[in-house]
Amino acid sequence: MNINDYGFLRVAAASPKLKVADCDYNTTEIKRVIEQAQREDVQILCFPELCLTAYSCGDLFFQKTLQQKAMESLSVLIRFMQEEPSLIVIVGLPLRIQSSLYNVAAVLSGEGILGIVPKTYIPNNNEYYEKRWFTSGKDLSDLSVDIEGKNVPVSSKGMIFHTPFAAFGIEICEDLWMPVPPSSGLAIQGAELIFNLSASNELVGKNHYRKSLILQQSGRCNAAYIYASAGWGESTTDMVFSGACFITENGSMLAESERFSPESELIITDIDIDALRYDRLKNSNYTATAPYGTSGIDCYIDFVTSDKIYRRFNPHPFIPPEKDHDESLSEVFNIQTHGLAKRLLHTGVEKVTIGISGGLDSTLALLVTVKAFDLLGLPRENIHGITMPGFGTTGRTYGNAVALMKSLGVTVKEISIVDAVTQHFRDIGHDPDHHDVTYENSQARERTQILMDYANKIGGLAVGTGNMSELALGWATYNGDHMSMYGVNTSVPKTLVATLVKWIADARTDEESSRRILHDILDTPFSPELLPAGEDGKIAQETEYFVGPYELHDFFLHRMLRYGDTPSRILFMAGQAFEGKYSPEEIVKWLKLFYRRFFAQQFKRSCLPDGPKVGSVNLSPRGDWRMPSDASANAWTKELE
């Protein structure tokens, strides 16, 4: 397996145990960590600020002995790196240029030393007195220094390092804490990864703030941010350093170190470069021009072949983490509720119809509608819940539909579609024993006609129940269950529908009887119930048997729309996310079906009714997804053949 083939780059941040002013000891430990990273196929490794000497040397930085020893250690590492051609290493040291001393980052690879980036913003406050020793590198550009017989460029003006897989830039510690960090300019100039060599001491509450700063900057820059800070071994005369290391990607934390560890810390992860590039592609502010120039440096690095990946892929990307359930699911529910409430206020409508089947989608839509009516101070009796039993309705779903409506205090109405559809079959000359698409769709369209016409009768609005997963697959009858006057679930995928209903049952429902109804609905197999039930009276038509697991399709949908992933990337990531649950053959089978249906069914999405957007992925033809109905899927399906 070659992670680079799938758009990933392996990076690491390290905080080695050091001894203050003992460059030999520090270099030996740095080499040991480099060897460890090499065994794990790391491609770019970042160490902390001034790691060759340690950060807390104080006035020893003025000593020529320490300055020279730091340069000797750098030379040792340069020669050592010639044995590690597949790895780029970034280390920190003090560097004297003419009559000034600079706090710099040196970039090393098998080619030798590639470039030097000086620190721009030098702190001078109650904790850090760096201006006593170091000069800001903000005016250094178009400069080179001789190291090991090589003219090495030195610049703080947007120096970008180019590898075959990604471009990266460097800033040092305090640079991140400024109103306009250098990394902002580096990202605009094309850097997809930002490395920060830091020495940030610990204070009560500081780690939380520092972490939020890194997360926010990676999000603002649409970049990966790799942060390595000084730790064990620094002087504790006045401050303590914890060895805090973080690797973030576009606002998400991928890896963090154990703080206050007495051993060297090394964290490793794989950065999704393709995903970062996709976000930048959609953001036209990432242009080729920028407020200041860049120095481009090419870095040689071998391909990495690895039998594992240092990254986990969330198999359920639409479902928030358990710890965030209450906040995130409340937001989704409130967006749905307020969207419907606004539509009712705008139209002056105070009554609605909604088809209640005893399934998850109509259950969530009804819960949203009840909340909207409560919000507007409208009586729940104005919600006309209509259950419409047909040829495939089972006792379980019918019973749950009626019980749910009664428990919520809405108006319950039952209208059987059997006679109307049977008459329709006679009108069009269809054999009712022929259970084809006509048999199924006639039922769905009859139900929609009832809901629309009854809404007209009461002066109301027909609330739609269909979810985004069904829209992606086209698993809805055109001008049937895919049509309404306002669709509250239109951007809620099936996996999130289930999560929302369970959360409402467990966290927002007081009555035990209502909770039992909701849990039984959750346990009911997904089905349109358009075919007659089996001899045992149970559902005979289970949706996932025909179209595949919704959790797979939601994963495919998220990767395709959110990140623009190719079929091969989706297949690779799905294989990792669902390892042990679905075989590679199953994933390929359902991914092929996903593409075929997604492309063939766009015409159903092109005429969607209004509905609120709740997340980063949406299929509205007026918003996030504008696709011609006649596009061919050949390029996508052929890649999977």
Catalytic residue numbers read 49, 119, 173
Q: Which of 399, 378, 375 is nearest to 387 (CA)?
A: 399
Q: What is the 3-state secondary structure (H, E, C) of 201-266?
A: ECCCCHHHHHHHHHHHHHHHCCCEEEEEECCCCCCCCCCCECCCEEEEECCEEEEECCCCCCCCEE
Q: Which of 430, 288, 447 is nearest to 359 (CA)?
A: 447
Cα separation of 42 and 87, whole Å?
7
Tokens 């966290």 -> residue:
507
Residues in a beta bridge with 170: 195
Task: Give me Rg for the CA atoms of the chain.
Answer: 30
244's tokens: 């805090």
What is d(CA 555, CA 549) in angstroms, rounded to the nearest whole number?
10
135: phi then psi, degrees, rounded to nearest 5: -105, 145
- Measure the CA–CA gap between 342 and 506, rounded to whole angstroms: 28
CA of 242: how far to CAs of 16, 27, 36, 123, 331, in Å?
A: 11, 20, 21, 19, 36
Q: Is 268 helix (H, G, I), strand (E, B) or coil?
A: strand
Amino acid at 306: S
Amino acid at 182: P
Q: Would you say how long the chain is, in residues? A: 641
Per DSSP, helices labelled H in 43-116 are 64-81
The CA distance from 262 to 264, in Å, is 7
- Other Cβ atoms closer than 10 A to 315: 19
**Spatial contact of 539 and 533, defined as CB atoms under 8 Å apart:** yes
Longest dimension (CA), the chain: 101
CA distances from 509 to 114, 397, 504, 516 (A): 62, 20, 6, 10
User: In what side-by-side order are the strands of the sheet with 112-118?
Assistant: 143-147, 150-154, 112-118, 100-109, 88-97, 44-46, 8-15, 265-272
Q: Are 176 and 217 in contact (CB under 8 A)?
A: yes
C-alpha span between 208 and 225 (Å, rounded): 16
User: For residue 478, how many C-alpha atoms fall within 13 Å in the half-sphere facing its CB?
Assistant: 11
Please answer whether residues 67 and 56 qualify as being in contact, where contact means their C-beta atoms are separated by less than 8 angstroms: no
Q: What's at 175, amino acid-wise?
A: D
CB atoms within 10 A of CB 10: 24
Contact 575, 587 (CB under 8 A): yes
Q: Coil, strand, or helix at residue 314? A: coil
Helices marked H in 114-180: none
Rounded Cα distance, 307 and 303, in Å = 13
